[in-house]
């Protein structure tokens, strides 16, 4: 059987308020509107498509975080993943990418996944490295920034995005850990049947100790802008009037 | 306390972002009393080393190994791991390029030492460096503290340091030999290629109206199109708009799209993430309309409007007619 793990992270949505907690090192989570990390959603869709094109294939969604992350695990199950793993951690200040990856590698090792898919970057911490470290720790092949994937027996071929509009085809043998770039498919929405069916699917919880961290956020803050910007304000009509003036007399178009 | 800077090859020249990493190293080396070593490897190691010899550095290491002539993440990670293990470095600096994203996490795993990626600033506090990176899609900054005296791998975001500030000098090149076990190279790579260009050429446009995720849905694209028409400009977008299939890929501006420098860049519902900004910050005038007063786009815009595009744009089209 082909076994695929997809790492899905719960992060603030792009329009969520981000108010900084009194500790000054993390957000006031009460106010955050969480969603599944964007590129992880594409990674999950890619796994579900691979499953549909492969006989006997299991997709497992895995998330590390406090109790709240079960919501996106259930969302993954509702979309068609077979089971979930919740790496349960009480604190929300695990921010060291190496210790995060180590936690995943330890938890996933005994499962012997053929393929681990993850997003290329989390929208909160943005380390851009978790999937590759896990792959290396588990002695798998690794590939990054995949904009397409193709399974071929015990190999996988990816089209990897490079700098300045270039791409490169990369081929590697399984097991492999691959990070997914957004846009390579069209993520599905869970169906009503899927949502009902998800309730019967297993979510295994592992309790995690997060003491081994070499990096910590010492301060989280709003960027202070040194930018000379002219704000145009007022009612929408005034704004439009002034903007047209700017177009004509300042920018001269 | 020594610093190693790894050079990336850009067709025989040192990658601009590696030069910026050298500037970062030069900036702090005197304060930390550290020496700077740079590493040149790959097919063009010789040319990179020669170019680096014009700068103020302590030593240039040049690896000649045919196993590194073409890039592989395993080959590069193994080679750099060996160099790090032989010498006593405290920091290894990189530019945060696509290649660095691909292989540096592997070095982190091999050495079990952290990789602080994509920093925009650094400052010295009690003998070690504190790094600053963007988090939450550039909406917040985080100062990152390191907790022990071991080695840290560090990369810097594009343009965090300016290569205009490179200190010239004369540095010696030392050849070193390493052996790479080619059976450890797991991937096979084809030649890089470019996708055939699409029909939309944004690079010569004078006026660009660009839409982001704030446009909400495919059907709303038409108001941006109408505005582009009214202004006599081109329509472009951020990545999520292309990812969602609302516009074709040739509309995308940013690190994985086109780079533009029009007279007017009007950003509608674009937050201003770095990967977008690198593609449009050269515009003469940036006007941003965003309903979030704290959107990072306002840090680079010349004119800002805090408001709803659906209230403003239709009126703007009316008044331009
Ligand atoms: C390796 C890599 C490469 C990438 N390459 C690119 C690239 O080439 N180009 C690119 O653009 N991105 C690229 N990205 C993605 C980038 O990081 C951001 O995710 C993306 O630019 C965000 O797009 P956005 O601003 O449209 O969306 P969001 O960040 O979601 O912002 C939407 C904005 O719209 C505003 N808004 C919402 N509704 C309204 C309204 N009614 N009126 C006014 N404002 C409103 C919101 O306040 C918000 O600021 C890349 C990422 C990576 C990791
Ligand atoms: N706490 C987490 N839970 C689930 N997946 C994660 C977590 N942290 C990182 N990942 C995965 O690793 C990818 C890259 O994250 P990062 O290295 O933080 O940018 C994300 O897109 C996820 O797929």
Type and span of the H or E element at A8: none
Which of A127, A179, A211, A241 would you mutate first to test chain B, the one with the most B CBs within 10 A?
A: A127
Among B152, B184, B216, the domain boundary falls at B184
Evaluate if residue A143 carries a pLDDT over 80.
yes
Q: Do B141 and B277 fall within a single domain?
A: no
Q: Which domain holds residue B158?
A: 2-184
Q: Domain check: are B130 and B257 in the same one?
A: no
Write down the pLDDT at residue A164.
81
CB of A163 closer than 6 angstroms to any ligand 1 atom = no
DSSP B226-252: HHHHHHT-EEEE-HHHHHTTSS-GGGB
Tens digits of per-residue pLDDT, A166-178? 999 999 999 999 9
- ipTM of this complex: 0.96
**Same domain, yes or no: B15 and B98:** yes
Q: In angstroms, what CA-CA distances link B80 with A28, A43, B15, B116?
A: 40, 30, 17, 17
Collapse the DSSP code of A41 into the 3-class scheme (helix H, G, I; strand E, B; otherwise coil) and give the result: helix
Burial A197-223 (b: 16+ CB within 10 A, else e): ebeebebeeeebebeebbbbbeebeeb
pTM score > 0.80 for this model? Answer: yes
Find, among A163, A179, A168, A93, the residue nearest to A129 by Cα. Answer: A179
CATH number at residue B284: 3.40.50.1220
Does B142 contact A123 at a Cβ distance shorter than 8 Å? no
Angstrom distance (rounded) from CA B94 to CA B96: 6
Mean pLDDT of chain B: 95
Task: Please judge whether B102 and A144 are an interchain contact, meaning their C-beta atoms are less than 8 angstroms apart.
Answer: yes
CATH number at residue B179: 3.40.50.620
Burial A82-98 (b: 16+ CB within 10 A, else e): bbbbbbbbeebebbbbb
Note the pLDDT tens digit of each residue in A199-226: 999 999 999 987 778 899 999 999 987 7
> Hey, which of B117, B221, B256 would you mutate to test ligand 1's pocket, going by the most ligand atoms within 8 Å of its Cβ?
B256
Distance from CA of B232 to the nearest CA of A (A): 10
**Any ligand 1 atom below 6 A from CB of B251:** no
B176 and B216 both lie in a single domain? no
Q: What is the largest CA-CA distance in chain A?
A: 68
Residues A107-133: tens digit of each pLDDT: 999 999 999 999 999 999 999 999 999
Within a domain: residue B191?
Answer: no
Q: Are B225 and B134 part of one and the same domain? A: no
Query: Could you tell me which chain A residue has the CA closest to the CA of B149?
Result: A214
Phi, then psi, of B11 in degrees rounded to 5 = 50, 45
Exposed / middle / buried, residue A228 (Cβ in 10 Å: 0-12, 13-18, 19+): exposed
Residues B164 and B235 in one domain: no
Give me the pLDDT at residue B268, please: 98
Instruction: Tell me: cis bond preceding B293? Omega within 30 of 0 counts.
Output: no
**Pick from B101, B292, B315: which is nearest to A237 by CB?**
B315
- Collapsing DSSP states into helix, strand and coil, what is residue A11? strand
Q: According to the model, what pLDDT value does residue A163 have?
A: 86
Beta bridge partners of B211: B237, B268
Asked if residues B15 and B8 have their Cβ atoms less than 8 Å apart, the reply is: yes
Contact between A230 and B263 using a beta-carbon 8 Å cutoff: no
Confirm whether B194 is domain-assigned.
no
Residue at B193 is within a domain: no
* Residues contacting residue B165 through CB under 8 Å, at least 6 positions apart: B23, B26, B27
Share of residues in chain B with pLDDT > 70 (%): 100
Number of folded domains that form chain B? 2
Residue A165, pLDDT score: 83
**pLDDT of B180 strictly over 90:** yes
Give B-chain residues touching A232 at CB under 8 angstroms.
303-305
Q: Which CATH class for the A2-207 domain? A: alpha beta
Residue A133 in contact with ligand 1 by CB distance below 6 A: no
Instruction: Read off the pLDDT band of B30 (50, 70, 90).
Output: confident
């Amino acid at each position: 059987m082909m076994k695929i793990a997809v790492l899905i992270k719960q992060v603030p949505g792009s329009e969520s308020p981000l108010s900084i907690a009194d500790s000054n090192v993390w957000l006031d989570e009460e106010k955050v509107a969480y969603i599944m990390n964007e590129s992880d959603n594409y990674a999950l869709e890619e796994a579900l498509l691979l499953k549909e094109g492969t006989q006997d294939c299991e997709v497992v969604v895995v998330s590390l975080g406090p109790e709240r992350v079960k919501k996106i695990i259930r969302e993954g199950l509702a979309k068609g993943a077979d089971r979930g793993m919740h790496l349960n951690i009480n604190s929300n200040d695990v921010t060291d990418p190496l210790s995060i990856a180590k936690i995943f590698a330890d938890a996933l090792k005994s499962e012997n996944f053929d393929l681990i898919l993850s997003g290329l970057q989390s929208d909160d911490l943005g380390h851009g490295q978790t999937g590759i470290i896990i792959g290396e720790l588990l002695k798998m092949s690794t590939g990054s920034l995949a904009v397409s994937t193709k399974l071929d027996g015990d190999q996988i071929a990816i089209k990897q995005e490079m700098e300045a509009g270039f791409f490169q085809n990369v081929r590697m043998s399984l097991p492999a850990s691959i990070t997914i770039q957004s846009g390579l498919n069209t993520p599905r929405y869970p169906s009503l049947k899927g949502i009902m069916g998800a309730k019967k699917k297993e979510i295994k919880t592992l309790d995690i100790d997060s003491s081994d961290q070499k990096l910590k956020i010492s301060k989280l803050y709003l960027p202070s802008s040194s930018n000379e910007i002219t704000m145009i304000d007022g009612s929408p009509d005034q704004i439009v009037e002034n903007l047209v003036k700017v177009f004509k007399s300042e920018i001269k178009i | 306390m020594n610093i190693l800077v790894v050079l990336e090859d850009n067709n025989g020249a040192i990658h601009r972002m590696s030069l910026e990493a050298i500037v970062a190293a030069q900036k702090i080396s005197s304060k930390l009393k550290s020496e700077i070593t740079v590493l040149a490897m790959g097919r063009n190691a010789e040319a990179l080393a020669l170019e680096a010899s014009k700068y103020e550095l302590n030593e240039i290491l040049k690896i000649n190994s045919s196993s590194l002539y073409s890039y592989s993440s395993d080959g590069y990670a193994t080679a750099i791991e060996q160099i790090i293990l032989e010498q006593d470095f405290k920091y290894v600096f990189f530019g945060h390029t696509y290649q660095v994203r691909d292989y540096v996490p592997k070095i982190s795993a091999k050495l079990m030492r952290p990789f602080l990626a994509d920093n925009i600033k650094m400052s010295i506090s009690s003998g070690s460096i504190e790094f600053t990176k963007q988090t939450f899609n550039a909406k917040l900054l985080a100062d990152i503290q390191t907790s022990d005296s071991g080695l840290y791998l560090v990369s810097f975001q594009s343009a965090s340091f300016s290569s205009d500030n490179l200190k010239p000098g004369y540095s010696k090149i030392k050849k070193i030999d390493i052996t790479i076990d080619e059976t450890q190279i797991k991937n096979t790579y084809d030649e890089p290629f470019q996708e055939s260009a699409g029909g939309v050429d944004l690079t010569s446009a004078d006026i660009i109206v660009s839409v982001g995720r704030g446009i909400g849905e495919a059907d709303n694209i038409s108001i941006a199109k109408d505005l582009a028409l009214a202004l006599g400009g081109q329509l472009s977008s951020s990545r999520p708009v292309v990812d969602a299939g609302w516009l074709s890929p040739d509309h995308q501006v940013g690190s994985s799209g086109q780079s533009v420098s029009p007279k007017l860049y009007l950003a509608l519902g674009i937050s201003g993430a770095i990967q977008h900004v690198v593609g449009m910050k050269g515009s003469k005038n940036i006007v941003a309309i965003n309903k979030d007063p704290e959107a990072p786009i306002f840090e680079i815009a010349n004119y800002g409007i805090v408001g709803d595009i659906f209230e403003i744009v239709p009126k703007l089209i009316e008044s331009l007619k």
